[in-house]
Amino acid sequence: MLLFGHAGVTLGAATLLAGAAKSRPTSASWFATLSRYLDIRLLLVGSLLPDIIDKPVGQYFFRDTFDNGRIFSHTLLFLVLLSAIGFYLQKRYRQVWMLALAAGTFTHLLLDEIWLTPRTLFWPLLGFTFEKVSIANWLSDIFHELFSKPAVYIPEAVGLAIMLWFSLVLVRRKKVGFFIKYGKLS
């Protein structure tokens, strides 16, 4: 999964959860409902966070060591740590920003189907090393899969549609600057 798949599908799922309780919701009110609960910017960052951390570390900085773009931040341990810190901050200080990151990260792991690589998901319980994956042609492989694999291009198209829809809501409500500054719609 790539940028729009992770960010857009995460935003769509969170919006559905937040707006499901409203009677006769509109797309704009569903996004506004979500923004009452959390900073949408942090949810979007969380949806990309495992790749933001692991791709540079595993594919560039320590390629000889890991040779894998799914390492530490793609583990259940990372998600549990984010969530535990998030619950502590929420209980102690009524801050939910870390929970927004954790929710995005949770969705990222689901969309990556990380359970198919249990050695990564349950690291370090199943060993301290990560599986080596040939990433020599990583970029060209992703580009090829984007146009040939439904499991890649369908979530990307859906995610892009959701992100465009959200952007349209921001523009129509004249909340682009407000969203950039506060991560909310109102």
Q: What is the pLDDT of residues 99-122, one digit of tens each?
A: 999 999 999 999 999 999 999 999
The two structure tokens encoding residue 155: 């979530």
66, pLDDT greater than 70: yes
Alpha carbon distance 2, 153 (integer Å):
9
**Which of left, alpha, beta for 113 (phi over 0: left; psi -120 to 50: alpha)?**
left
Tokens standing for residue 84: 């535990």
CA distance 37 to 46: 15
Asked, for residue 21, whether it belongs to a domain, the answer is no
Asked whether 39 and 103 are in contact (CB, 8 A), the reply is: no
Q: Which residues contact 158 (CB under 8 A, 6 or more apart)?
A: 5, 8, 9, 12
In a domain, 18, yes or no: no
The pLDDT score that the predictor gives to residue 138 is 72
Residue 119 domain-assigned (yes or no): yes
The runs of H, that is alpha helices, within 69-175 are: 76-93, 97-111, 118-121, 138-148, 150-172
In a domain, 126, yes or no: yes
Q: Would you say residue 56 lies in a domain?
A: yes
Domain count, the chain: 1
Among candidate residues 31, 116, 128, 114, the one with its CA nearest the CA of residue 75? 114
- Answer whether residue 179 shows pLDDT above 90: yes
pLDDT at 134: 74
**Residue 98: inside a domain, yes or no?**
yes
Residue 19 lies in a domain: no
Residue 20 domain-assigned? no
Range of the domain at 113: 3-13+26-182
Band the pLDDT of 142: cuts 50, 70, 90: confident
